[in-house]
Amino acid sequence: MELRILNGALREVDAGALVVPAFEKDAPRDTGALKLAGELTSGWVEEVYSSGEFAGKTGEMALLHRPAGFAARRLVLAGGGKLGKFDAAEMRKLAGTVVRSLKGRSVRNIALAVERGDEFAAAAVEGALLGEFETDRYKTDESEKKPLDVFALAGEVSEAALERGRIVGEAQNFTRELANEPGNRLPPSALAARARDMAAEAGLECEILDQDRMRQLGMGALLGVAQGSMEPPFLIVVRYRPDRPGPEGVQLGLVGKGVTFDTGGVSIKPSDKMEEMRADMAGGAAVLGAMRALAALKPAIPVTALVPTVENMPGGRAQRPGDIVRSLAGKTIEILNTDAEGRLILADALAYAVQLGCTHVVDVATLTGAIAVALGNVNAGVFSNHEALLNRVLAAGRAGGEKLWPMPLDEEYREQLKSAFADIQNIGTRYGGAVTAALFLKEFIGETPWVHLDIAGTDWLAEAKPFLTKGPSGVSVRTLIRLALDW
Ligand code: BES
Ligand code: MN
Ligand code: ZN
């Protein structure tokens, strides 16, 4: 899809559809693009409103073919909801909705009138890219596919805004593409290869630790999870370094869970919906997507991404319940459930992030079903041992338009992780499962400021939204990008 800016007169915009945002109730319709649309079409806009067919509500659309006075083949009013609540996040959704609905009608060239500043313009570009994304890579009937050729912003918009929107939108789609890959198409070695290619293209350093290296280092927790699979594990490390040294020696670590398929291992999962576990590397994919964008957006601080990647399988060599492993941090772990594998690979990756000199660490993981029970598919859960870093992440989430909800880490829950035979065990009771998982991670980060995002409820859309297809959401990419950029 080509992205463009059209600075000229709206009436001359050459497109399959010229889209004008329109709002509810008393929002003025006698200025800008809406006014022009009404005048040239001798009152079509007012008529659409008074007919009751269109009220400007979010997601609504009204469509006029061959609009008088316009070069565009269609004039489209796109509902933006209440004008007072129309922010960049709403603009992102509007653009996505417009793209999905119009390309469904085989429109291949869309221009969106943008009358607000660069933040809205960048969000519109992002939304268009996100809406355009489909999970049809493995569909062979090309005639079923309806790609968009051109998405243009019509208005006084800067190239920089378009570029920023493109970078951030493409980064999210990169993440979604990875998260969507089936287990057979993307084992740990393939995820590592994709990370390496991405880093080379983006101009980032990439180092991939193999099994031997991890054994030398003492990553027993990660290796224990991997041993049931024929697919070897890797620890992917991708580095961004700014041209000038960053403020106060800060080094941000981004750690993402990279389980390419999670069967549960010997503590095997029920087969219903097990296929969704192909996205159990969504956190790792998010971290890599964020790095891809940061390479272009160049934050002031160095950022190091770590993605421990394994396949969690049952098998003759698989880890057993009752096994005790020794983690990189030196703590021993009693494995009571092999399906609580994310925390095991993250334990070693978090400890390694500290060894690499990260001063602040954020991890992203599809860690627990319990977070989906607690927060559903709306908010990701956020846990932290450090208030200032937590506040930075929450602010980044707000700026990026991704919903995050703070969760507790009280010591009282820690009881559940006491092991009779090792330093800690890897599961708690049925109660507070997302909290005990986060408390487990906390043991391995030490005193380093740390935030954990549990995205198990939000990384995958069970149903399509008007602005996003069913499947991987790419959640947390925008938050991570903002966090690094706004430091
Ligand atoms: N990958 C799962 C968590 C998950 C569940 C992600 C549903 C997305 C959707 C994780 O590895 C897991 O299996 N967690 C267990 C932990 C339990 C065994 C303590 C869970 O949540 O049931
Ligand atoms: Mn699991
Ligand atoms: Zn898992």
DSSP 47-108: HHHHTTS----TT-EEEEES-TT-SSSEEEEEE---GGG--HHHHHHHHHHHHHHHHHTT--
pLDDT band at 450 (very low <50, low <70, confident <90, very high): very high
Mean pLDDT over residues 468-482, rounded? 98
pLDDT averaged over every residue in the chain: 97
Asked, for residue 403, whether it belongs to a domain, the answer is yes
From 334, 344, 367, the mutation candidate for ligand 1 (largest count of ligand atoms within 8 A of CB) is 367
**The tokens of 28 are what?**
């003025």
Mean pLDDT over residues 81-108, rounded? 96
Asked, for residue 373, whether it belongs to a domain, the answer is yes
Q: Is the model's pLDDT at 246 over the cut of 80?
A: no
* Separation of CA 274 and ligand 1 centre (Å): 11
pLDDT band at 92 (very low <50, low <70, confident <90, very high): very high
From 271, 339, 425, the mutation candidate for ligand 1 (largest count of ligand atoms within 8 A of CB) is 339
Angle at 452 between CA 306 and CA 429, to 5 degrees: 120
Asked, for residue 168, whether it belongs to a domain, the answer is no
pLDDT of residue 244: 85
Q: Do 87 and 228 lie in a common domain?
A: no
As annotated, the active-site residues are 269, 343
Output the domain CATH number for residue 53: 3.40.220.10
Q: Is the model's pLDDT at 212 over the cut of 80?
A: yes
Task: Report the alpha-carbon distance of residue 98 to residue 112 in Å, rounded.
Answer: 9
Q: Do 210 and 127 lie in a common domain?
A: no
* Separation of CA 121 and ligand 3 centre (Å): 37
pLDDT band at 247 (very low <50, low <70, confident <90, very high): confident
pLDDT of residue 144: 85
Give the residue whose CA is nearest to atom 14 of ligand 1.
368
For the CA of 267, the nearest atom of ligand 1 = 18
DSSP states of 174-228: HHHHHHHS-TTT--HHHHHHHHHHHHHHHT-EEEEE-HHHHHHHT-HHHHHHHTT
Sequence-distant (≥ 6) Cβ neighbours of residue 374 within 8 angstroms? 381, 407, 434, 457
Q: Do 180 and 328 lie in a common domain?
A: yes
Asked, for residue 340, whether it belongs to a domain, the answer is yes
Domain extent, residue 415, equals 173-485
Q: How far apart are the first and last CA of the chain?
A: 32
Compute the residue count for the chain. 487
Q: Is the model's pLDDT at 380 over the cut of 80?
A: yes
Return the number of other C-beta atoms located less than 10 Å from residue 28's C-beta: 10
The dihedral through the CA atoms of 126, 256, 416, 267 has a sign that is positive
Asked, for residue 163, whether it belongs to a domain, the answer is no
pLDDT band at 388 (very low <50, low <70, confident <90, very high): very high
pLDDT of residue 26: 86
Q: Do 69 and 136 lie in a common domain?
A: yes
H-state helical runs in 281-400: 282-297, 342-355, 369-375, 387-400
- Ligand 1 first shell, C-beta below 6 A: 262, 280, 337, 339-342, 366-370, 427, 433, 456
**The tokens of 443 are what?**
């043991």
pTM of the model: 0.97
For the CA of 342, the nearest atom of ligand 1 = 11
Task: Report the alpha-carbon distance of residue 129 to residue 401 in Å, rounded.
Answer: 16
Task: Report the alpha-carbon distance of residue 93 to residue 80 in Å, rounded.
Answer: 9
pLDDT per position as a tens digit, 314-345: 999 999 999 999 999 999 999 999 999 999 99
Q: Do 128 and 261 lie in a common domain?
A: no
* Separation of CA 371 and ligand 1 centre (Å): 9
Asked if residue 179 lies in contact with residue 281, where contact means CB atoms within 8 angstroms, the answer is yes
Q: Do 178 and 103 lie in a common domain?
A: no
* DSSP three-state, residue 113: strand
The residues facing 18 across adjacent strands are: 75, 111
According to DSSP, the β-strands at 252-256 and 17-22 are unpaired
Task: Report the alpha-carbon distance of residue 22 to residue 33 in Å, rounded.
Answer: 9
pLDDT of residue 164: 98
Task: Report the alpha-carbon distance of residue 328 to residue 343 in Å, rounded.
Answer: 13
Q: Do 143 and 187 lie in a common domain?
A: no
pLDDT band at 365 (very low <50, low <70, confident <90, very high): very high
Given 157, 187, 208, the domain boundary residue is 157
Q: Is the model's pLDDT at 376 over the cut of 80?
A: yes
pLDDT band at 111 (very low <50, low <70, confident <90, very high): very high
pLDDT per position as a tens digit, 407-431: 999 999 999 999 999 999 999 999 9
Asked if residue 177 lies in contact with residue 137, where contact means CB atoms within 8 angstroms, the answer is yes
Task: Report the alpha-carbon distance of residue 437 to residue 431 in Å, rounded.
Answer: 11
Asked, for residue 282, whether it belongs to a domain, the answer is yes
pLDDT of residue 262: 98
Q: Do 137 and 179 lie in a common domain?
A: no
Give the residue whose CA is nearest to atom 5 of ligand 1.
369
- Which amino acid is present at 213? R
Total domains present in the chain: 2
Given 131, 157, 183, the domain boundary residue is 157
Asked, for residue 128, whether it belongs to a domain, the answer is yes
Asked, for residue 165, whether it belongs to a domain, the answer is no
pLDDT per position as a tens digit, 279-307: 999 999 999 999 999 999 999 999 999 99
DSSP one-letter code for 468: B
Return the CA Rg of the chain: 24
* Separation of CA 368 and ligand 3 centre (Å): 7
Task: Report the alpha-carbon distance of residue 49 to residue 417 in Å, rounded.
Answer: 60
Q: Do 97 and 138 lie in a common domain?
A: yes
Q: Is the model's pLDDT at 394 over the cut of 90?
A: yes
Asked if residue 324 lies in contact with residue 221, where contact means CB atoms within 8 angstroms, the answer is no
Given 114, 131, 157, the domain boundary residue is 157
* Separation of CA 217 and ligand 3 centre (Å): 24
* DSSP three-state, residue 128: helix
Q: Is the model's pLDDT at 25 over the cut of 90?
A: no
* DSSP three-state, residue 374: helix
Task: Report the alpha-carbon distance of residue 332 to residue 353 in Å, rounded.
Answer: 19
Mean pLDDT over residues 121-135, rounded? 98
Q: Do 222 and 339 lie in a common domain?
A: yes
Please tell me the number of the ligand nearest to residue 335's CA.
Answer: 1
Q: Do 177 and 149 lie in a common domain?
A: no
pLDDT of residue 41: 96
Task: Report the alpha-carbon distance of residue 36 to residue 69 in Å, rounded.
Answer: 10
pLDDT per position as a tens digit, 158-198: 999 999 999 999 999 999 999 999 999 999 999 999 999 99
**The tokens of 391 are what?**
């506040």
pLDDT band at 134 (very low <50, low <70, confident <90, very high): very high
Please tell me the number of the ligand nearest to residue 459's CA.
Answer: 1
Output the domain CATH number for residue 464: 3.40.630.10
Q: Do 286 and 397 lie in a common domain?
A: yes
Q: Order of strands across the sheet with 150-154? A: 2-6, 150-154, 109-113, 17-22, 74-79, 61-65
**The tokens of 54 are what?**
């269109």
* Separation of CA 339 and ligand 3 centre (Å): 7
Percent of the chain predicted with pLDDT > 70 = 100
Please tell me the number of the ligand nearest to residue 258's CA.
Answer: 3
For the CA of 437, the nearest atom of ligand 1 = 19
